[in-house]
Amino acid sequence: MAKYLLLKHYRGAPEPVNNVPMDQWSQDEITAHIKYMNDFADKLKETGEFVDGQALEQTGTWVRYDGEGRPPVTDGPFAETKDLIAGWMVIDTDSYERALELAGELSAAPGKDGRPIHEWLEIRPFYGNAPTITE
Amino acid sequence: MDEALLRSLTPAVLGILVRRGADFAAAEDALQDALVEAVKAWPDDPPRDPKGWLVTAAWRKFLDATRSDTARRRREDVVNAEPERGPSPDTDDTLQLYFLCAHPSLTPSSAVALTLRAVGGLTTKQIAQAYLVPEATMAQRISRAKKTVGDVRFDQPGDVATLLRVLYLVFNEGYSGDVDLAAEAIRLTRRLATAIDHPEVSGLLALMLLHHARRASRTRDGALVPLAEQDRGQWDTRLIAEGVEILQAALARDRLGEFQAQAAIAALHADAFVAEETDWVQIVEWYDELLALTGSPVVRLNRAVAVGEADGPRAGLKALAELDESLPRYSAVAAYLHERDGDLRTAARLYVEAAGKASNLAERDYLTRQAARLNN
C-alpha cells in the first residue's frame, strides 16, 4: 500500500531499445501504441491500483518570484533543457516489486514494427504517512 | 443520527443475512444500500429496534437485487429455502466476518479495504478518502476482494495472526483524511476482543491504546516530537491505565506473542513520568523477547537504540555495527547514537543521510532539523 509515480519523459531518459520516433511509424502502429496505453490504465482501474494519469504538452516556461509588487519573471522554454516530462501515472500498489512489474509492462508498449519500445520510465515513491508505531 | 450505532450493527446484520442464505458479496452490497437508506430515514423516524430495522431493510434490498438478477431461478431457490434460524449469537457471526475480510488469500490492501467496509461499516467513499485513491479505484478493490473470498465458507476457522496484522495496518496508517483510522482500528479490535478470547488480540488492543494515549503529544505544529521530548502531561492516563490492565491480564496467561511484547515496551515508556525515568534495562529485555519471537531486523535496530540508552551510546553503536546498513532508519539510529557519544560532525552527516532516505515527510523534516541543529 504505497503510491508510486511513473514518469514518462519526452527527453532526458536513456535511449530506448526500439528507438524510432513516432512520426516514422505507420498509422496502425500509432493506434496500437495508444490502445496499449489505454488498456493498461483500464486494467489498473480494474485491479484497484489506479490513482491518476495525465499527459503534458511539449511546451513549458520557467517562472520565479521577482520581489514585492513585481510580476513574476518568466523565461524559456529552453530548447536545450535536458529533461522534459511527457506525462505521469500514479499507482497504488501492495509492494515496490509490484510497482516495478507494472512499470515494466508499461515500458513494453509497442512502437515501430509492433515491437516493444523498451522505453525507460522513471519510478518515484511518494512519501507515505508517518506510522503511528515506530519504537 | 447515530452513525456510531449504525456502524456498530454492521457485522451482526451482515452475519444474519449470510446465515439466511445470501452469499457474502450480495449481502454486503444489500447492507450498504440499507445503510444509505438508514442515514436518510432515521433522523425523522428513529426505529425502536435499529438492528431489526437494518436486517429487514437489507434483506429486502437483497431480494430486490436477486429478483432483478438474470440468474433469477438459481438464486430464488436459495431465497425460498427456509432460512435457518438456530441460535447463532452475534459474536460468532462477527468473528467469522473478521476472518473472512482478512482472509490470507487477500492482499493486505484488499483485506484492509474489505474489513473497513464490511466490518467497520464505512462507505467506499470514506475508505477511498482515507487512503487517498479515487472512489472508483477503491470500489474495484473491494469488489475484487469480495470475489476472492466468494468461495470461502463462512464457518471455517480463521487465521488470527493474519487478522491482527490487518488491524495493525489500519491503526498504523495514522490520522490522515476525514476518517480517524487509528480510532477505527481500536474500535474494531475492541469488538474483536469481545468475540474471541486470545492473548494476542488483547496484546494488540493494549498496544494500540498505549500508543493512542500519546497521540496529542506526538506532533507540535505538525512537526514530529520524539518520545523523549513529548509533553507527558498530555498523555491520556485513562487509556494508558486501560492498556496496561489489558496487557497484564494477557501476560498472566503465559502465552507470549509479538503484540504483547510490543505492548509491554509501550507500557514501560508510558510508565515513566519523565523520559529520564524510563526503565531501559527492562525495555532491552523485552526487545530480546520480541527478537526471539520474530527474528526481525527492525526489532534488532530498535533494540540497539534501547541498548544505547541502557548501557551507553558505545554499547548501542556496537549493537548497531552487527546490523545491515540498508535497514530503514539505520542512519537515523546511527546519527542519534553518534550524537549521544559526542561525535557531532558524524551525527550531522548521518542525519542528512537519514533525511534523504526517510519514507515520510514528517520524518524527513525532523531529521533535516536535527542536522541543521548540529550544523548551526
The predicted structure's pLDDT at residue B94: 85
pLDDT at residue B54 in the model: 94
> Residue B108 is nearest to which of A1, A131, A135, comparing CB atoms?
A1
Contact call for A131 and B172, based on CB within 8 A = yes
Note the pLDDT of residue B306: 97
Query: Does the pLDDT value for residue A92 go beyond 60?
Result: yes
How far does B164 lie from chain A, in Å, by closest CA?
15
Using CB atoms, pick whichever of B133, B175, B182 lies closest to residue A51.
B133
SS3 B2: coil
Q: Give the sign of the dihedral formed by CA A7, CA A12, CA A18, CA A21.
A: positive
Query: Chain A closest CA to B365's CA: distance in Å?
Result: 11
pLDDT of the residue at B7: 87
A4 - beta bridge partners?
Answer: A91, A125
Domain boundaries, chain A: 2-125
Report yes or no on whether pTM surpasses 0.90.
Answer: no
Residue B198 — φ and ψ, nearest 5°?
-150, 125
Give the CA distances from residue B42 to residues B31, B118, B170, B197, B228, in Å, rounded to whole numbers and listed in that order.
Answer: 15, 21, 29, 35, 48
C-beta atoms of A135 and B265 within 8 A: yes
**Pairing relationship of beta strands A50-55 and A2-11 according to DSSP bridges:** unpaired
Across-strand partners of A73?
Answer: A64
Distance from CA of B20 to the nearest CA of A (A): 31
Q: Domain residue spans in chain B?
A: 1-88, 90-192, 197-278, 292-376
Please enumerate residues of B whose Cβ is less than 8 A from a Cβ of A: 107-110, 112-113, 131-134, 136-142, 144, 169, 171-176, 182, 207, 211-212, 224, 227, 262, 265-266, 269, 302, 305, 329, 358-364
- Cα-atom radius of gyration of chain B, to the nearest Å? 24
Question: Which contacts (CB < 8 Å, 24+ apart) does range A44-48 have?
Answer: A44/A89, A44/A91, A44/A102, A45/B136, A45/B137, A45/B140, A46/B140, A46/B144, A47/B140, A47/B141, A47/B144, A48/B109, A48/B110, A48/B113, A48/B133, A48/B137, A48/B138, A48/B139, A48/B140, A48/B141, A48/B142, A48/B144
Looking at residue B89, what is its pLDDT? 55
**Interface predicted TM-score of the whole assembly (ipTM), two decimals:** 0.85
pLDDT of residue B87: 47
Count how many Cα atoms sit within 13 Å of the Cα of residue B249 in the half-sphere of its side chain. Answer: 14
Residue B75 has a pLDDT of 52
Residues of chain A contacting B360 with CB distance shorter than 8 Å? 127-131
Residues in B touching A51 (Cβ below 8 Å)? 132-134, 137
The overall average pLDDT reported for chain B is 91
- C-alpha span between B112 and B173 (Å, rounded): 11
For residue A41, give how far its alpha carbon lies from the nearest alpha carbon of chain B (Å). 11
Residue of B nearest to A1 (CA): B109
Q: Please identify, in words, the CATH class of the domain defined by A2-125.
A: alpha beta
Query: B285-316 burial, b if ≥16 CB within 10 A, otherwise e?
Result: bbbebbbebeeeeebbbbbbbbbbbbeebebb
Q: Which residue has the higher pLDDT, B310 or A10?
A: B310
Which residues does chain B have with pLDDT short of 50? 82-88
Is residue B189 within 8 A of residue B245, CB to CB? The reply is no
Query: If you ran DSSP here, which 8-state letter would residue A128 be given?
Result: B
Gap between the Cα atoms of B180 and A45, Å rounded: 26
User: How do residues A59-90 score in pLDDT, each as one tens digit?
Assistant: 888 999 999 999 999 987 776 677 889 999 99
